[in-house]
Amino acid sequence: MTNYLYQQQNWQSQLSDLITDPQELLSLLQLSPEQLLSGAILASEQFKLRVPRAFVGKMKVADPFDPLLLQVLPHHLELEDHPEFVTDPLGEEQANQQPGVLHKYKSRFLLTLTGACAVHCRYCFRRHFPYQDNLPKNEDWLNIKQYIESQPDINEVILSGGDPLTLTNRRLQSWIERLESLPQIKFLRIHSRVPIVIPNRVDEALISILKNSRLRIILVVHSNHASELDDFTCRTLNTLVKHQITVLNQAVLLRGVNDSAQVLVDLSYRLFDAGVMPYYLHVLDKVKGAHHFDLMPQDIDLIYKEVLANLPGYLVPKLVREIAGEKNKTPLFGVSTA
Ligand code: SF4
């Protein structure tokens, strides 16, 4: 099916028809099954392949090195052990106050309402996160409310991954209404990759929920490469911007995907076409299974310096690393990235 046809299909049916079989993905892209070296199927069993057909439609046919494909195709190197690469690289178990609540920073905390994502990114730092023990139920709200009220510094809630935009509009709205009932909460940040991989998720009902909220909404999408941003996706993101919703982008610097200044410059300009501001460029979190996406610190420095030299300052994403236990992300430019 071409992407034009996906534009006519509602997001719920796209979400229920994800590609989960690596062989099917390769066959759609006219790639040979040998592309999956031994071990890739086992890697897929450990962290399942999930990718929407609309996102596959943005990949280049017959290109085994397509940067979008490399982000989602299970790889035998995921099975290799590297001592620095661990299951909880950001120490989130320590920050897990109660089901759904991850409190790492002073004025804001993460609420994980679902463990589901529309796409499984092979480099995801939460690929081993025990979501099944951490999802808040409706009856947990009173405890969450008490927790927020006991922390007067909190003024922002971040809905994060799993991907909050895999929730139905009704469920999303009911959680937003709960948060709106607390006067101390002023901002709601939603971190989501769904508008990139299934742009139709941005439907009228979602726009209405976001634009009518008392809270100041900031949607942080996650795109790593300009090829993810076709015209339809850009128009969709721009619709949100036109409704006064702040839309920012965070990317992860990944070997083989976007480890070139030109690719990052193109990404920033493409985001700006859509009215989206580049926000963060994350250095890879050292999660078990993602070692093959890692870059040498000196290469990161070189790439970032070239990005700085080629973009106006307002389009340069902040290069950061998250360090377990730190009270904010650590800016890296001019600092060793080791
Ligand atoms: S949480 Fe985000 S980065 Fe991780 S798999 Fe889901 S969409 Fe990808």
Q: Tell me the domains of the chain and their CATH numbers.
A: 3-79 (no CATH), 92-331 (3.20.20.70)
Cα 244 to middle of ligand 1, angstroms: 26
Contact 319, 331 (CB under 8 A): yes
- Any idea how long the chain is? 338
- Looking from the CA of residue 160, the nearest atom of ligand 1 is 1
pLDDT at 1: 54
Cα 192 to middle of ligand 1, angstroms: 8
pLDDT at 173: 97
pLDDT at 337: 47
Reference 104, options 338, 285, 323, 252; nearest CA is 323
- With a 6 Å cutoff on the Cβ, whether 191 touches ligand 1 is no
Nearest CA to ligand 1 atom 2: 161
Structure tokens at 100: 């759904």
Nearest CA to ligand 1 atom 4: 124
- With a 6 Å cutoff on the Cβ, whether 251 touches ligand 1 is no
- Looking from the CA of residue 126, the nearest atom of ligand 1 is 4
- Where the chain has pLDDT below 70, the residues are 1-2, 37, 334-338
Ligand 1, from 111, 117, 293: best to mutate by most atoms within 8 Å of Cβ? Answer: 117
- With a 6 Å cutoff on the Cβ, whether 92 touches ligand 1 is no
Going by the annotation, the residues of the binding site are 117, 121, 124
Tell me how many degrees the CA angle 43-46-51 measures, rounded to the nearest 5: 75
pLDDT in tens, 161-178: 789 999 999 999 999 999
- Looking from the CA of residue 123, the nearest atom of ligand 1 is 3
- Give the span between the Cα atoms of 54 and 196, in whole angstroms: 9
Beta strands 330-331 and 187-192, pairing class: unpaired
Q: What is the dihedral of CA 32, 35, 38, 41, to 10 degrees?
A: -80
Cβ atoms < 10 Å from Cβ of 285? 21
Ligand 1, from 15, 72, 120: best to mutate by most atoms within 8 Å of Cβ? Answer: 120
pLDDT at 338: 45
- Give the span between the Cα atoms of 116 and 96, in whole angstroms: 18
* Whole-number Cα distances in Å, 119 to 48, 69, 78, 193: 10, 12, 17, 8
- Give the span between the Cα atoms of 173 and 332, in whole angstroms: 37
- With a 6 Å cutoff on the Cβ, whether 254 touches ligand 1 is no
pLDDT at 42: 86
- With a 6 Å cutoff on the Cβ, whether 56 touches ligand 1 is no
